[in-house]
Amino acid sequence: MAIETVPIPFPASLDAKAYEGFGREVRGVGVANFTENEFMVLEKLLYEHDLLLFRDCNLTPQQQCALTKAFDPTSNHYGHGNNHLSKSPTSLLTSLLTTLPSVPQVQLIGNGTISNHEGISSITLKHPSHKTFHAPPHLTSDQESRGETRFYRWHMDAALYEFAPPKVTSLYSVRTPLAPRQKCRYADDYYNSSSTTTTTEDVLENVSLGATAFVSGKVMFEILPVQLKSLAVRTKVRYAPHPFVWMKGAKAVGTGLGLVTEGREVPLEMLPEWEEGKVQELPMVWKNEVTGNLHLQAHPCAAMQLIIDPVLDAEKKDGALYPDGARIEDLKEVRDLLYKIQRPAIAPKFIYPHDWKEKDLVIFHNRGLLHTALGTFKEDQVRVFHQCNLAGSDFPRGPSHEDVARWS
């Protein structure tokens, strides 16, 4: 049977024109037992469409790891390092991810109490809640009982220290609860009174419980005005050392798109031992290795500085932002600028919230999308997922000289 693809179903809220070509459901291939030729087709499809969906899969953690590794064959470690989370009790991620004992590259995530699962005798999982990570005000109990929720934390999967960002992430739905649909309420309170950006309180309607929300980095770049495109292709983001330890005490803004600047970050001298050579300065814009498209990929919570190159063409300096280049070290200025750049792309019309079914497998282009968890769970609503990504064997490529000349 030949491999077939069909467009994934979009919600009515999504701008289908902006997302033309995004996502494909793949049929006619066994993800647990694929040939070399079949994989070559899958790899090309992934980079062309950024997200692939496989329905009704029976997949062991070992098979999921093998499929994920096929996209980067020389990679061996989980994106944050094998068993790294168990060695980092102060990391923000420790309470959200549990390593499977037999396959350290695969993490257990979800909600509720489960027993005898892949070598784990018993564990109570907790779906991430905005109440543990966002700055107040939070949703009230009445709002949550009416099915309101929030985005948790927009990100790409990456350690952003020492290990290169994974090329792909795979998510496998082992168990998904049936529940009434919810609405995701944005909260731009922190920025509504700011002069750096103008926002309104958006609502993403009719999302399934525990949906994963995705936004295209390609769309995020394409919708920018000319000035911000110029800035983006000239900018590198310097991330904090051990960023998920550094940010653990900080609180997020109500959209999950970055942190409130209150001085809660762990001082650099109090972090676990770190080396300057392992600190990452990555382009704000990453180039798709197959299509050549530019994807705006910045982790707003982990960013510590912005390093901006000057505009090289003197004729284009007039009206450009930071035409002579800059190094922005003020944390609030860094976050305000990133929010101005990224916030338009998380408007409801640019969000694809995946509606999970049991035995769904989603593989997504981790160097081309941002994503976040959302959903307000009750204790008895059991959700079991396996997540796999592998630290990249190389680092993402930024814009070419021709790209910079075109857009700056």
Backbone angles phi, psi at 230, to 5 degrees: -60, -45
Mean pLDDT for 366-382 is 95
Which residues are within 8 A (CB) of 263 and not within 5 positions of it... i.e. 6 or more apart?
A: none
Position 195 scores a pLDDT of 42
Q: Does the pLDDT at position 237 exceed 50? A: yes
What is the C-alpha separation between 84 and 87, in angstroms, rounded? 5
pTM confidence score: 0.95
Q: Does the pLDDT at position 197 exceed 70? A: no
Task: Evaluate whether 64 touches 170 at the Cβ level (below 8 Å).
Answer: yes
Q: Does the pLDDT at position 399 exceed 50? A: yes
Position 383 scores a pLDDT of 96
- Looking at residue 7, its amino acid is P
Position 85 scores a pLDDT of 53
What is the C-alpha separation between 66 and 70, in angstroms, rounded? 6
Query: Strand 148-149 relative to strand 182-185: parallel, antiparallel, unpaired?
Result: parallel
Position 6 scores a pLDDT of 98
Average pLDDT of the residues of the chain: 93
Token representation of residue 339: 């929010």
Task: Evaluate whether 214 touches 351 at the Cβ level (below 8 Å).
Answer: yes
387-396: pLDDT as tens digits: 999 999 999 9
The residue among 352, 291, 295, 347 whose CA lies nearest residue 23 is: 352
Q: Which domains does the chain have, with CATH numbers?
A: 4-407 (3.60.130.10)
**Poorest-pLDDT segment among 30-44, 46-60, 87-101:** 87-101
What is the C-alpha separation between 28 and 383, in angstroms, rounded? 27
Task: Evaluate whether 192 touches 172 at the Cβ level (below 8 Å).
Answer: no
Look-up: residue for tokens 């069909």?
A: 6
What is the C-alpha separation between 106 and 61, in angstroms, rounded? 7
The residue among 377, 374, 331 whose CA lies nearest residue 134 is: 374
Look-up: residue for tokens 């969000």?
A: 351
Mean pLDDT for 221-233 is 98
In sequence order, what DSSP letters do the residues of 228-256 get, joined into one string? HHHHHHTEEEEEPSSHHHHTTT--B-TTS
